[in-house]
Amino acid sequence: QVYHVPSGETSRHLLGEVIKSSPNVSQPFFLHSFAMSENYVIICEVPGLVQWQEFPMNHTFMSELGTLWHVLSRATGEKVAEFKTTPAFFMYHHANAYEETVNGKTEIVVDVVSYPNMDSLSAMFLDQILNHPERLMNSFGDGGLHRFRLPLGEVGSNVKGRQIGPCMEFPTIYYEKYNTIKHRYVYGGSLKKGESLFLDRLVKTDVETGHVKYYIEPDVYPGEALFVPSPNSKAEDDGLILSVVLDMSKKHSKLLILNASTFEKIATADLSYAIPFGFHGKYY
């Protein structure tokens, strides 16, 4: 089910719902996030089952079913389109979605961090991170930023994605200005497969040119990269990147501040203690 909170209200209202596409599967599929363009809500139905009540947790990835895209109208909640991607992919986070007219037809462009399987899910348990960190890093290293185009005039078609960025997670953009409209830059945490034991670098990807910039500091492990625009900024990357990082050389955390354009360090604000890793944050 998809809910919305109308402007000026504090209670949620049901907008629309998606009926599970595989009636022979009794459990709901894995869903972590959804995307939204100016006129549509996009739900990515990953064919993965998770037995949350079991420990250790088990999961099943049914690649043969494909990954389904459900498109709902933001105005009415009505489902207006459905697409499939085969072979299936797994994902946690969307970077952004927007609408674009191509040859007189509307396409929804969706940027997601996708993986060929869901091995990373069970590898995120604490005992796995402590005893087999290579499992998580290898599974994350198989992913990357991918772009999918959903042609609204060709409902039911099989859509293929193309990789537009490197391995990354927790993708962010200049959200306040570019959410639901065409963006150029995506920021996130990254690693080097076969070398890193955790997310150990920040990354900036130019999705128009494919150019990638990294910020790497020895023994420093970053959190989510948050973009803060400069006052009266005109360029999309005119601002700062904030990330709470763990500095293992000093055994404490600090706030790392980068120039979002050059991706070079401007300053740090050290803490006297370590902050446990989180997932998502916000700048106000």
Report the 3 state secondary structure along 52-106: CCCCCCEEEECHHHCEEEEEEECCCCCEEEEEEECCCCEEEEEEEEEEEEECCEE
60-72 residues labelled b (16+ CB within 10 A) or e (exposed): ebebebbbbbbbb
pLDDT of residue 277: 77
Q: Say if residues 257 and 268 touch (Cβ distance below 8 Å).
A: yes
Q: How far is CA 199 from CA 64, 81, 137, 177, in A?
A: 31, 36, 8, 27
pLDDT of residue 211: 97
Q: Say if residues 213 and 204 touch (Cβ distance below 8 Å).
A: yes
Model-level pTM?
0.91
Q: pLDDT averaged over consecutive 10-residue blocks of the chain (284 residues)?
A: 92 89 68 94 90 69 90 95 93 96 94 93 82 86 94 86 94 96 97 85 97 96 95 94 94 96 97 84 66
pLDDT of residue 201: 95
pLDDT of residue 160: 92
pLDDT of residue 210: 95
pLDDT of residue 155: 76
pLDDT of residue 284: 58
Strand (E) or helix (H) holding 135: helix 133-141
